[in-house]
Amino acid sequence: MLRQPHTRRSLIRLGALAGISALVPMLGACVTDELAGNGPPEKQSALDVMPVLLVATTRKPTSATPRPPYFTAERGKGLTFAEVRLSPPDRSLLGKVSAVVTGDWTVGAVPRIESGPGAADAFTQAALGRDVLIYVHGYRESFESAAVSAARLSDGIRFRGVSGLFTWPSAAATFDYGYDRESALWSRDAFEDLLKSLVASPSGGRIHIVAHSMGTLLTLETLRMLRAEAGEAAMARIGAVVLAAPDIDFDLFANGVRRLGPDVHKITVISATNDRALELSSTIAGGVVRAGAADRERLESLGVRVADASDYGGGLINHDLFLSNPDVQGVVKRAVARGAGGA
């Protein structure tokens, strides 16, 4: 959290070159079984074959006609659906090297935007009855950076279903933490509307959610609402819920988890006691520890699965490991596999 401009991307790119090879040999005893590898990954994701990202957003569109940057940091009027065409990275050796400098996935075009009461159903129809992976981003993210992160996540775990993004109105600015937090919470009703539409589809698959940082607060609060209003039948359609580096007051997190009752077993928390961004967030919050930086035993006492990634950090921040470290991405992949099977 509260990082200087461009720091996040530079750390991820450096980690892709140096962090993986330097840190893989040293796997400390505190790392949980969730970080144990299970064989070689698949060679290709569904997103790599058809690079289309389904987006639901509470951001305000830049104009009636889709044009870059497509969505602003302002709050829109309800939910908007967008179909995003992505440009995949160059898979050649030269392309992989140049990607460290220039980036990888990019937003190519947004040919379709639909706002209003039909937006949630439009997303559901576009999913075509397949399993869906929805990424919910964290603090200080633009529409474009959130879309790229969603693509990197889905491609990184070789997801075979539909890739989705729920993006809320982050100001994408270092000193707008308060605005971002309020915008995330303001987006709960819209996110619930999307989930209700997806779980109500008779031909739909399972819905998997991966949320990061401040996005985990939005996700946890929305799932509480969904369970209270739509019941266990709706929650049965929810597969894996992965909360990466949750930027939530631990006591608030504990209350939210308890409200989910037996659905707590769907949750996997990726934590790191050396997450510098969460340390700063804790300082801002008066010293209360954030859930993503809590001790593993304290988190496990709530009934959630925990992957302690403290020994996998390759940079100064250690806040985006699920996007940059293949072992941590393996945690997400296995959680989704369990969720797809209803485990």
- The 8-class DSSP code of residue 161 comes to S
Confidence label for 36 from pLDDT (cuts 50, 70 and 90) = low
Task: Give percent of the chain with pLDDT exceeding 70.
Answer: 82
The one-character DSSP state at 249 is B
CA distances from 278 to 130, 246, 284 (A): 35, 8, 10
pLDDT of residue 228 exceeding 80: yes
pTM of full prediction above 0.95: no
Q: What is the pLDDT of residues 82-129, one digit of tens each?
A: 999 999 987 666 545 544 434 589 999 999 999 999 999 999 999 988
Domain boundaries along the sequence of the chain:
7-340
The alpha-helical segments, DSSP class H, found in the chain are 7-14, 20-23, 46-49, 93-102, 119-127, 143-156, 177-186, 188-200, 215-235, 250-259, 276-284, 296-300, 321-324, 326-340
> Where residue 133 falls among pLDDT bands split at 50, 70, 90?
very high
What pLDDT digit, counting tens, does each position of 280-317 carry?
A: 888 777 778 999 999 999 999 999 999 999 888 655 56
**CATH of the structural domain 7-340, one choice from 3.40.50.1100, 3.40.640.10, 3.40.50.1820, 3.30.1950.10:** 3.40.50.1820
Under 8 Å CB-to-CB from 257, ≥6 apart: which residues?
220, 264, 267, 302, 303, 304
